[in-house]
Chain A
């Protein structure tokens, strides 16, 4: 058959797929000394993240991906697979051993692993937010809901008390926290409500990137469902580049369109989320999917 299509091939650049906003290249985190031999002694092949050569732990290695604005990328894997390490490196909680993470801001590319500590803190205030599994990591428990949200706002330069309060009201109503709870200490909130306050705080300065680390793990099923629905609608309404880390395929399926699978610190497979669920290729992904479907 003649090749009728080569001269009529569509230029996919015309699809207007948004360019990446977050690009991670060769991210690695090793606890302990390492060289090539140490790295090569770990991973899915040897089935360990801990090197038999010197005991160093290769928590994540050679992790690369891109996320576009308006897109949510999933990272799935069991505990110890390295997915949270990746997220914490991006959040600035953990210093990576190698690699780059570039954020494209108004045409400027900035490697967030290469900036100084002050700049890093500023980025956390207005550009890269995190929603942790444990709300006590993202919130001050002895501060009111309104006070917690005011913190990133004042850090970003907001000074007018009335405006800060209005913004906090707006954020809390978007995350469906009753406004009459605004002046209560977060400590007095239920788990699901704390998570909603944490999400409101994460959105305070309209960040470009939001990182979700097991955002519903540990919540009762019905409460988790409410928080998931909230995250889903926020992702649909905002042009955020999101990374969602979870061991739970139902969370990944609901929130993400593309997904990476991590195992022993490495990416073993990446695909569209429906492909991973219906046609997993890697043996580890097949095991994960089989476990989720049983």
Chain B
């Protein structure tokens, strides 16, 4: 029997209308459909500009898709279409069910790492005391030293910021984890730590959709690879049949 998906994207389209250049329409991606079950890790591959990041942002709804459906499983196995919810419902559900880790930490000014991760855990529905414990564990897991926990994140290094981001995205694991180049600034030791963390979340049943620019990460973590080309989903591959060309984009 086919397993129920955690995420099912149906005929999703996103284009931007740029009013500054006389209303030019730029298509980010078009008619994308795929689904991800619990514990599955789907990597998106393709050249720069193929629409990978736009797709992740549209699932998280930082971008508002032009058409299509994004069905997300939430508690008790029920589903919501993220494209058919009010703003406040989107904010509540994505905070609760989705972890989004971008390449760069875009946190609020004058916040410490611990506060950022606690806030994320609170949005997932934890109470204050549990959130504090979970946040401390999450920061330890990505190797952020305790002396940095209350320092404003603006003064942290690129790699440290990225790890704070990862801690916030994975604390009290969400049902769906969206990863957009989460390892790009990490040294080998921390990179290894992050790879182990992401892999362990998959084993715990978290559904993952990711973008990595290096083949090794994809081959270690992904169960399937979807290839995007100029905004279209053109192929599905096993991680071991990927060639370098498809991931070369970000280099």
Interface residues of A, Cβ cutoff 8 Å to B:
1, 4-5, 8-12, 15, 17, 68, 71, 225, 229, 232, 250, 253-254, 257-258, 270-272, 274-275, 278-279, 281-283, 286-287, 290
Contact = CB atoms under 8 A, between A and B. Distances in A.
Given A8-B79, A225-B110, A257 B91 contact: yes
Interface in B54-81: 57, 61-64, 71, 74, 77-81
Interface residues on B, range: 20 to 34
B18 interface: yes
Given A9-B78, A250-B109, 4 more contacts: A5-B71, A17-B89, A253-B108, A272-B91
A232 B19 CA distance: 33
B90 interface: yes
B92 A17 contact: yes
Given A9-B78, A15-B93, A279 B88 contact: no
B87 A271 contact: yes
A272 B109 contact: no
Interface in B17-36: 17-20, 33
B196 interface: no
Contact of B87 (A272, A281, A287): A272
9 contacts: A5-B8, A17-B88, A68-B88, A250-B109, A257-B91, A278-B57, A281-B64, A286-B19, A286-B20
B79 A286 contact: no
B10 interface: yes
A69 to B, nearest CB: 12
A279 B90 contact: no
A-B residue pairs, 9 tightest by C-beta: A283-B19, A10-B78, A5-B79, A279-B63, A10-B80, A278-B62, A274-B62, A272-B87, A286-B19
A287 B108 CA distance: 23
A285 to B, nearest CB: 9
Interface hub of B18, B63, B79, B81 (most chain A Cβ within 10 A): B79
A8 B77 contact: yes
A15 B88 CA distance: 11
Contacts of B89: 12, 15, 17
Contact of B80 (A1, A12, A275, A279): A12
B109 A225 contact: yes
B16 A279 contact: yes
A258 B87 contact: yes
A229 B109 CA distance: 9
Interface of B: 4, 8, 10, 16-20, 33, 57, 61-64, 71, 74, 77-81, 85, 87-93, 108-110
A177 to B, nearest CB: 19
B108 A275 contact: no
A279 B26 CA distance: 12
Contacts of A253: 108
A290 B20 contact: yes
A269 to B, nearest CB: 11
A287 B18 CA distance: 10
Contacts of B20: 283, 286-287, 290
Interface hub of A254, A279, A282 (most chain B Cβ within 10 A): A279
B114 to A, nearest CB: 15
A254 to B, nearest CB: 5
A274 to B, nearest CB: 5
A272 B92 contact: no
Contacts of A11: 78
Interface hub of B4, B19, B62, B74 (most chain A Cβ within 10 A): B19
B88 A5 contact: no
Contacts of A1: 10, 33
A250 B109 CA distance: 9
A286 B23 CA distance: 11
A274 B87 CA distance: 11
Given A272-B90, A286-B18, A254 B63 contact: no
Interface hub of A5, A254, A275 (most chain B Cβ within 10 A): A5
A47 to B, nearest CB: 14
A41 B154 CA distance: 48
